[in-house]
Structure formats: structure tokens, C-alpha cells
């Protein structure tokens, strides 16, 4: 049985901590944990407020994280290498770094790489730009960073296929490694340009609970990575490579979740939690670890971690994120096919907070996939009662009604959803709408061509619309027009999965 309590010495308050071996690891933040707990600011060198002209740039960073970036560029940067910002979004991180350069009188530029493609799912709630999905937001970046534009070189780049030809990198700020794959791609493209013992790699998401790859990839190689700084308020942790990243004895070319056993996860997270000084940081890692236990299905460890988080709850607000973390893990469980576990998580969260539409939606989606139609119906009735404008929930309810054979009520929900949607809505939502419509057609053997044609002006640029048109035309005997509709779908989206599947399956019959 794996121990999850630390073998290390404990504070009087019962919490555990331990400094890493070696004086070098005693960072500005955790050089003296007890003193830091009393007054963090007195020890942090990044206390200077941000200059007004960049402080107002919208962003997803904490105030301390912005001050830290400003301090890094103004005081820690030595000038022998480049400053690279991966994932600056509308410019907050780039502006803080650039202002540091400006205020020290440097001429160096921050190289800011981003796809600059709007993702309504998580961007619109941080900045109400009202841009359609996928829209180019470089103009917003340029506007927001205008006061320090002379110190920024922005460039569009998909970091899954990133490259760097600008010489050694002194400061690499990363706020785009949002998956195992992106983290691998970023390390491979930019890692060879880091200088051992000198470069800083600033990982903004290091303490964020869903990004479990950071503690696993970085903390599993203390011979490669040495932690040098960390903010107290926020998720940012900074490392310095101790050796070239690749070549003999270096990092694996790629990391995957499957490379780490659950025992590895527990060992690495235990050490990380114990090394963290602040209660907030500890709770962030305990939360990530608890989510890993949910995914692994280890209820004993899960229970112990809940207890440990509860013990810290009164000292930090970080524990408030736990239900949301569990909700996200519920969707991960669904992605790996653990549907019953996902439904269980959703139902437990629903009991905990009956007023949350998001928890009911998790349980509902898992229940639909499990074929638990009564449960799914109850969940989505709750979601739509809590938020009548939730189109997603309305469509899921329609899906349940289709399965239950309720022809009229299902169609009412589909029609209502389509009325409120437009071509600029999320791709996934549009796919769901036309997917549920298609199921309705198959279930009731009805192919409403006239109704579909009436939607053509509004959804002409939506591939899912043309796929449903193609199927309806084929089912009503009009094969030439069906193929035309399918071609239209594939012209808009050449890799559209359903369109490709139909083309492959029926193409030979043409």
C-alpha cells in the first residue's frame, strides 16, 4: 500500500514541507519558508508595481505574475540571449516583459508567438471581444501592447509545429503548453536553444491542476531542471536547465501520461506538495493529484487527499477550485471511456451543489453515453431549468427525447436551438445541433428537406449542415445533389470526420 503522507519533518501546524537538496534550490521565494509565510513581499524582489501603461492590458495572469515578468526582464535578464513569450494572448505577458526591457533602457525585443486565433470557449469570458470562433486577434494584441510596441516582435505560429532560429534563449516564458503534446513540441523546438545554468524557463501553468504533465515531466528529472523562482500568488514556477536537454542522459524525446505509473504520480506529487511553502500552492498540487487518483480509480488515495485538502481549506481559497477540477476530470474520464466513473463524479457534484448547471451537465452527458436515459433526462431538465438559454443542454435534452421516442418534444428543442444558433457559434455546438438533428431523422425515418433548405442562408458555411443535407438528399433519392452537398462540406472542412466517413463508405457506389 502506497503511503501518501510525507516521511519528512512537519511544521507545528501539521503541514509538511521540505526544501530541495542544495542551497541553489532555495529560491527567492522559498529561501526561508517561515519568514515567507509571515511576509512574502519582504523577500520577493518583484515588489515594484507595474508601470500604468502596461498594468491595464487585459490578461489571465495574477498581479504578482505580471510584476514577476516585469522584474525578470528589467533586473534578471543579462542580455546574452533572446526573450521568448509563447502564448501571449492579447499581450499581457509580452507587455510586462517589454516594459521591463524599456525601463532598463534595453533595445532587445520580446519574441511573442501565438496562433492568434480566437477561441470563444475560454477567451470570450476573459475579454468580451465578441469575435467569431477562429478569428484573428493579432489586431487586439497590437492595440493593447501599443505603448511598448518597439520592444515586441509578434509572430503567428502554431506551436505544435514551432521553430526557433534566433540563437540562444535567455528567458522562455511558456503559457501555451496546454497538453502533453504541446509541452513536448515546445520543449523540442525551443529546448535546444536553452543554455545550461543560465536560461530561465518560466512555466505559467506549472501549478494549474489540469496541467499534471508539468510536475511529472519537470520534477521527475531533478538532474535536468532546477527550480529557481516561483510566485506566491499564481501558478508560475521558473526552472533553469542544468544540462543540455537532449542527447545522452537528457530528456526523453516525448512524454506521455502512460510513461508514468500511478505510483510515480504519487511519489512525484508527494514530494512537490511537501516542497511547496504556501498552503495555496500545496492545495493546487493536491487537487491535481486528487484528479489523477479519480482517473486512476484509487478511492483510498482519493479519500486521503480530500482529507489533506480539507485540513488546509481554512488557510487558502485554492480549495474552492476542487469541484471544478473534479468536473473537468469527469470529462477526462469520459474521454478515456470510463463513463460510469464520470457519471458518478457528476452525480456526487450535483448532490454537493444542486444549483450548478455545469455539474448536472457532466452527469447528464455521461448518462446519455451510458444509455441511462432517465438519469440524463433528469440532469438536463435541471440544467435547462437553471439556465433556460443553455443551447447545449437543450440539444442534449433533445437527444434524450429522440432516444426515448418523443418525436415532437425532441423536434421542438432542435428547432429552438437552431433558431438561436448562427454560423459563428462554436464548431462543436454546431456539430452537436446537426448531429442531434440527424439522429432525429434516422429515428423517425423523416427527411425534412424543405425545412433544411430554409436554413441554407444561415448555415451555408457550416460543414455539418451540408452533411445533413447530403444524407437527406441521398435518403430521398437525389444522389447527384447529395454528392454536391457532401463536396461542399469537404470543401469547407477537408478533414470533416462524418463527411469523410460517408465519402469512403459510399464513394464506390457513385
Ligand X SMILES: C[S@@+](CC[C@H](N)C(=O)[O-])C[C@H]1O[C@@H](n2cnc3c(N)ncnc32)[C@H](O)[C@@H]1O
Pairing of β 200-203 and β 169-174 = parallel
Q: Which span (151-159, 331-339, 466-474, 495-503) binds ligand X, by CB under 6 A?
A: 151-159
Contacts of 236 (CB under 8 A, 6+ apart): 61, 65, 68, 202, 203, 204, 206, 207, 230
60 scored as a contact of ligand X (CB under 6 A): yes
Least Å distance, CB 58 to ligand X, is 7
Choice between 114 and 219, CB closer to ligand X: 114
Q: Which span (84-92, 98-106, 251-259, 385-393) binds ligand X, by CB under 6 A?
A: 84-92
Helix (H) or strand (E) holding 155, with range, is strand 152-156
Question: Count of CB atoms within 10 A of residue 196's CB?
Answer: 12
Q: Is 201 exposed, middle or buried (0-12, 13-18, 19+ CB in 10 A)?
A: buried
59 scored as a contact of ligand X (CB under 6 A): yes
Site for ligand X in 159-188 (CB under 6 A): 159-160, 175-176, 178, 182
CA 472 to chain centre: 37
Choice between 142 and 160, CB closer to ligand X: 160
Q: Which span (155-163, 216-224, 255-263, 477-485) binds ligand X, by CB under 6 A?
A: 155-163
Dihedral of the alpha carbons of 27, 29, 31, 35, in degrees to the nearest 10: 180
Least Å distance, CB 166 to ligand X, is 17
Site for ligand X in 350-409 (CB under 6 A): none
SS3 425: coil
Least Å distance, CB 36 to ligand X, is 25
Q: Cell 463536396 belongs to which residue?
A: 487
Least Å distance, CB 209 to ligand X, is 15
Choice between 217 and 383, CB closer to ligand X: 217
Pairing of β 82-86 and β 110-114 = parallel
Among 8, 24, 32, 158, binds ligand X (CB under 6 A): 158
463 scored as a contact of ligand X (CB under 6 A): no
Distances from the Cα of 45 to the Cα of 3, 28, 42, 232, 278, angstroms: 37, 7, 8, 12, 17
Least Å distance, CB 319 to ligand X, is 23
99 scored as a contact of ligand X (CB under 6 A): no
Q: Which span (82-90, 345-353, 354-362, 427-435) binds ligand X, by CB under 6 A?
A: 82-90
Least Å distance, CB 185 to ligand X, is 8
Looking from the CA of 376 toward its CB, the CA atoms found within 13 Å total: 24
Residue 385 phi, psi (nearest 5): -70, -40
Pairing of β 200-203 and β 237-241 = antiparallel
Distance of alpha carbon 438 from alpha carbon 453, whole angstroms: 15
Least Å distance, CB 254 to ligand X, is 16
For the window 9-48, what string marks contact with ligand X as x by the rule CB under 6 A?
----------------------------------------
Helix (H) or strand (E) holding 458, with range, is helix 456-459
The site for ligand X, by CB under 6 A, has a size of 18
Site for ligand X in 181-220 (CB under 6 A): 182
154 scored as a contact of ligand X (CB under 6 A): no
Among 30, 33, 82, 88, binds ligand X (CB under 6 A): 88
89 scored as a contact of ligand X (CB under 6 A): yes
108 scored as a contact of ligand X (CB under 6 A): no
- What sign for the dihedral angle of Cα 65, 69, 72, 75? negative
127 scored as a contact of ligand X (CB under 6 A): no
Contacts of 37 (CB under 8 A, 6+ apart): 277, 278
Q: State the residues that interact with ligand X by CB under 6 A.
A: 59-61, 87-89, 92-93, 114-115, 157-160, 175-176, 178, 182
Amino acid at each position: 500500500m502506497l503511503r501518501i503522507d510525507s516521511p519528512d519533518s512537519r511544521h507545528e501546524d501539521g503541514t509538511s514541507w521540505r526544501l530541495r537538496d542544495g542551497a541553489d534550490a532555495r529560491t527567492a521565494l522559498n529561501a526561508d519558508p517561515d519568514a515567507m509565510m509571515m511576509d512574502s513581499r519582504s523577500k520577493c524582489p518583484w515588489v515594484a508595481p507595474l508601470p500604468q501603461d502596461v498594468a491595464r492590458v487585459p490578461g489571465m495572469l495574477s498581479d504578482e505574475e505580471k510584476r514577476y515578468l516585469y522584474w525578470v526582464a528589467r533586473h534578471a535578464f543579462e542580455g546574452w540571449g533572446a526573450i521568448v513569450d509563447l502564448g501571449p494572448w492579447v499581450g499581457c505577458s509580452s507587455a510586462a516583459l517589454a516594459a521591463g526591457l524599456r525601463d532598463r533602457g534595453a533595445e532587445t525585443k520580446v519574441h511573442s508567438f501565438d496562433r492568434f486565433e480566437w477561441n470563444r470557449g475560454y477567451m470570450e469570458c476573459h475579454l468580451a471581444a465578441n469575435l467569431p470562433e477562429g478569428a484573428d486577434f493579432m489586431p487586439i494584441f497590437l492595440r493593447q501592447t501599443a505603448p511598448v510596441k518597439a520592444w515586441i516582435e509578434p509572430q503567428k505560429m502554431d506551436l505544435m509545429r514551432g521553430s526557433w532560429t534566433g540563437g540562444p534563449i535567455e528567458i522562455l516564458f511558456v503559457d501555451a503548453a496546454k497538453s502533453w503534446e504541446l509541452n513536448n513540441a515546445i520543449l523540442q523546438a525551443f529546448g535546444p536553444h536553452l543554455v545550461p545554468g543560465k536560461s530561465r524557463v518560466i512555466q505559467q501553468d506549472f501549478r494549474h491542476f489540469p496541467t499534471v504533465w508539468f510536475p511529472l515531466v519537470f520534477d521527475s528529472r531533478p538532474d535536468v531542471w532546477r527550480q529557481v523562482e516561483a510566485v506566491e500568488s499564481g501558478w508560475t514556477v521558473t526552472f533553469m536547465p542544468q544540462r543540455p536537454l537532449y542527447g545522452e542522459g537528457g530528456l526523453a524525446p516525448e512524454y506521455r501520461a502512460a510513461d508514468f505509473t500511478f505510483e510515480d504520480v504519487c511519489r512525484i506529487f508527494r514530494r512537490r506538495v511537501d516542497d511547496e511553502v504556501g498552503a495555496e500552492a500545496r492545495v493546487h498540487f493536491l487537487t491535481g493529484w486528487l484528479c489523477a487518483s479519480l482517473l486512476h480509480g484509487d478511492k483510498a488515495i482519493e479519500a486521503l487527499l480530500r482529507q489533506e485538502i480539507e485540513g488546509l481549506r481554512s488557510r487558502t481559497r485554492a480549495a474552492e477550485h476542487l469541484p471544478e477540477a473534479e468536473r473537468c476530470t469527469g470529462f477526462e474520464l469520459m474521454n478515456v471511456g470510463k463513463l460510469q466513473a464520470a457519471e458518478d463524479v457528476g452525480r456526487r457534484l450535483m448532490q454537493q451543489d444542486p444549483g450548478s448547471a455545469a455539474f448536472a451537465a457532466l452527469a447528464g452527458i455521461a448518462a446519455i453515453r451510458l444509455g441511462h436515459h432517465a438519469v440524463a433526462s433528469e440532469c438536463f431538465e435541471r440544467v435547462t431549468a437553471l439556465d433556460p438559454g443553455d443551447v447545449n443542454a437543450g440539444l442534449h435534452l433533445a437527444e434524450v427525447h429522440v432516444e426515448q421516442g418523443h418525436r415532437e418534444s425532441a423536434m421542438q428543442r432542435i428547432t429552438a436551438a437552431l433558431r438561436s444558433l448562427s454560423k459563428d457559434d462554436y464548431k462543436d455546438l454546431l456539430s452537436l445541433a446537426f448531429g442531434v438533428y440527424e439522429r432525429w431523422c434516422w429515428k423517425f425515418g423523416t427527411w425534412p428537406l424543405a425545412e433544411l433548405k430554409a436554413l441554407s442562408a444561415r448555415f451555408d458555411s457550416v460543414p455539418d449542415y451540408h452533411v445533413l443535407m447530403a444524407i437527406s438528399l441521398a435518403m430521398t433519392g437525389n444522389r447527384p445533389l447529395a454528392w454536391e452537398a457532401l463536396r461542399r462540406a469537404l470543401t469547407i472542412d477537408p478533414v470533416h470526420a462524418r463527411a469523410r466517413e460517408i465519402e469512403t463508405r459510399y464513394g464506390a457506389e457513385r
